[in-house]
């Protein structure tokens, strides 16, 4: 596994593979009891949009590589990547691209404001004079 492949793994999926489940969800944020230390209240946040975590008790955060570095108490990247690969054999990396979107239709429509009196009356419409 290389760094790019590891970064495509969702942190929530990685934590799940380690046996951690979120205590609550608030919008795009999942809250966990910290996997890095003992605690009574959930103060470990994972932003699922940015794929970033933050441990409010430690004042540290980052991506999946930084999380694994803290979990395994090492900064040796090959070892970290090996451990991530071992823990996530069934987790598929997520690929996402901001590739060019082709569209022949405009993304907006120009509207015209006309007075109601200028509209034709429908057949079921009765005009009172």
Contact yes or no for 49/18 (Cβ under 8 A): no
Is the pLDDT reported for residue 126 higher than 70? no
Q: What is the pLDDT of residues 29-81, one digit of tens each?
A: 999 999 999 999 999 999 999 999 999 999 999 999 999 999 999 999 999 99
Q: Is the pTM of this model over 0.85?
A: no
Burial annotation 7-17 (CB, 10 A radius, 16+ → b, else e): eebbbbbbbeb
Distance CA 82, CA 72 (A): 11
Domains defined for the chain, CATH in brackets:
3-87 (3.90.580.10)
DSSP H/E element including 79:
helix 77-87
């Amino acid at each position: 596994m290389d760094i790019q492949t590891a970064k495509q793994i969702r942190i929530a999926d990685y934590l799940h593979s380690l046996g951690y489940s979120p205590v609550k969800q608030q919008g795009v944020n999942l809250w966990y009891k910290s996997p890095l230390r003992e605690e009574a209240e959930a103060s470990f946040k994972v932003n699922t949009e940015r794929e970033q975590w933050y441990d409010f008790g430690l004042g540290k955060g980052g991506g999946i590589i930084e999380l694994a570095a803290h979990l395994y108490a090492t900064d040796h990247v090959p070892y970290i990547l090996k451990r991530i690969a071992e823990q996530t054999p069934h987790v598929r990396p997520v690929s996402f691209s901001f590739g060019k979107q082709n569209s022949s239709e405009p993304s907006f429509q120009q509207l015209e404001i006309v007075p109601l009196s200028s509209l034709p009356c429908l057949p079921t419409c009765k005009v009172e004079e």
